[in-house]
Structure 1
Amino acid sequence: MVTVNSTGHDAYLANGNECGDRTVSRFLAMGERPGRDVYCD
């Protein structure tokens, strides 16, 4: 699970959270999931 410390529904590519964007983009582009849950502050 990827958790992004943000408000609203637009957490991906809309709020400037580099950690969340990088983690989700890696999954979408390469199918790679993190080895454990990721919390992006």
Structure 2
Amino acid sequence: MQLWPELERKIPTYFEGCKKIVPSILHGDLWSGNYSYCPDGPG
């Protein structure tokens, strides 16, 4: 069963009532292989 067509139709309803949606530069995928650090601060 393909779920994407059904989900694609429903996505707009999940945001009803929201004000303007603005893209964010927040990365959000910080796993151990996707970030680094140094003794002096972020790397």
- Report the TM range for the smaller structure's normalisation: under 0.3
TM-score (norm 2): 0.23
Higher relative contact order (CA 8 A, sep 6+): 1
TM-score (norm 1): 0.24
Give the number of the structure whose alpha-carbon radius of gyration is greater.
2
